[in-house]
Amino acid sequence: MTDWSAEQYLKFEDERTRPSRDLLAQITCEDPRKVVDIGCGPGNSTELLVKRWPNASVVGIDTSAEMLRQARARLPGQTFIEANVAHWVPPETCDVLFANAIFQWVPGHLKQLQRLLAQLRAGAVLAVQIPDSLDEPAHVLMREVAHEGPWREQLSEKARVRDAVPPPAVYYDALSPICSQFQIWHTVYYHVLDSTAGVVEWVKGTGLRPFLDLLEAPEAKQFLAEYAARVAAAYPPQADGKVIFRFPRVFIVAVK
């Protein structure tokens, strides 16, 4: 199983935290007792929840031991639990389930969202942000390199494949019948990075990990070199030499 690098992930902390801020801004629950941060990562999203609701019991859960170590160091007074959301049941007292950029990694995530929402008490909130980036050049190119290089048999068989993100109407039909209020929106972020090396560094913390973790160091270096060359061609520099990195995301706020 892939274990994520907190250090690599946090190289773009502000950009990665911005969707959490945007999602949190749309939650109207003012005085929750219990808040759970699903896929809390290194605790950057959990920190926002603690600041928003200082009187609530805020718990972070994640499958990555490395991410949890970073989260505990960042927020030593909070509770963090190693758990897989696919098998996790929310506590009966939960008022807010917050999930930023985790469900793209959960197989059959739509059914998991239905299950979690159904298990919440009336009035509780499920708030979710899901990257919708599989068709962006940065992701298309990593799959191309995986399928065309000398490692293609190894990677095509074993590399983790994410489920496609369905259209908003699919989420609506699946979740609106089991909630009293439902919001969904799609946002495209345009991150300004110093160069195409920034694009490679960004995805090294997330999308590239399932590929690189299956390769020995020399092969991983070769994979990255080929990938970086293709990324450089796909993301031409702006007039000042910087690169615009397009990143679409889906947001959902459902009140049970």
Say if residue 213's pLDDT is above 90: no
Say if residue 7's pLDDT is above 60: no
| Distances from the Cα of 99 to the Cα of 180, 194, 245, angstroms | 19, 29, 23
**What number of other Cβ atoms are within 10 A of residue 189's Cβ?**
14
Question: What SS3 class is residue 14?
Answer: helix
Q: Is 41 exposed, middle or buried (0-12, 13-18, 19+ CB in 10 A)?
A: buried
pLDDT digits (tens, 9 = 90+) for 20-53: 999 999 999 989 999 999 999 999 999 999 999 9
Report the pLDDT value the prediction gives residue 8, as an integer from 0 to 100: 56
Q: pLDDT class for 11, splitting at 50, 70, 90?
A: low
**Tokens, residue 148:** 């065309």
What integer is the mean pLDDT of 201-206?
A: 87
Say if residue 10's pLDDT is above 70: no
| Distances from the Cα of 238 to the Cα of 138, 196, 243, angstroms | 17, 11, 6
**What is the percent of the chain with per-residue pLDDT over 70, rounded to a whole number?**
94
pLDDT digits (tens, 9 = 90+) for 165-194: 999 999 999 999 999 999 999 999 999 999
Say if residue 240's pLDDT is above 90: yes
Say which CATH number the domain at 21 has: 3.40.50.150
| Distances from the Cα of 251 to the Cα of 11, 71, 106, 130, 185, angstroms | 23, 24, 16, 6, 5
Q: Per the domain annotation, does 101 fall within a domain?
A: yes
Q: Which residue has the tokens 């690098």?
A: 5
Q: Which residue has the tokens 């090396």?
A: 197
**What is the percent of the chain with per-residue pLDDT over 90, rounded to a whole number?**
81
Poorest-pLDDT segment among 85-94, 102-111, 160-169: 160-169
**Tokens, residue 37:** 């941060």
As a whole number, the mean pLDDT across the chain is 92
Residue 97 has, within 13 A of its CA and on its CB side, a CA count of: 31
Question: What SS3 class is residue 94?
Answer: coil
Q: Per the domain annotation, does 1 fall within a domain?
A: no
Report the pLDDT value the prediction gives residue 92, as an integer from 0 to 100: 92
Q: Per the domain annotation, does 142 fall within a domain?
A: yes
Report the pLDDT value the prediction gives residue 1, as an integer from 0 to 100: 45
Q: Per the domain annotation, does 197 fall within a domain?
A: yes
Contacts of residue 134, defined as CB under 8 A and 6 or more positions apart, other chains included, come to 140, 162, 164, 165
DSSP class of residue 166?
P
In this structure, the strands spanning 34-38 and 57-62 are parallel
CA 21, CA 49: separation in Å to the nearest integer? 9
What integer is the mean pLDDT of 211-221?
A: 92
Full domain range(s) for residue 122 = 6-255
Say if residue 93's pLDDT is above 70: yes
Number of domains observed in the structure of the chain:
1
In this structure, the strands spanning 243-255 and 96-100 are unpaired
Q: Per the domain annotation, does 230 fall within a domain?
A: yes
What integer is the mean pLDDT of 198-202?
A: 94
What integer is the mean pLDDT of 55-79?
A: 95
208 or 253: which leads in pLDDT: 253
pLDDT digits (tens, 9 = 90+) for 153-165: 888 765 656 788 9
Contact 159, 147 (CB under 8 A): no
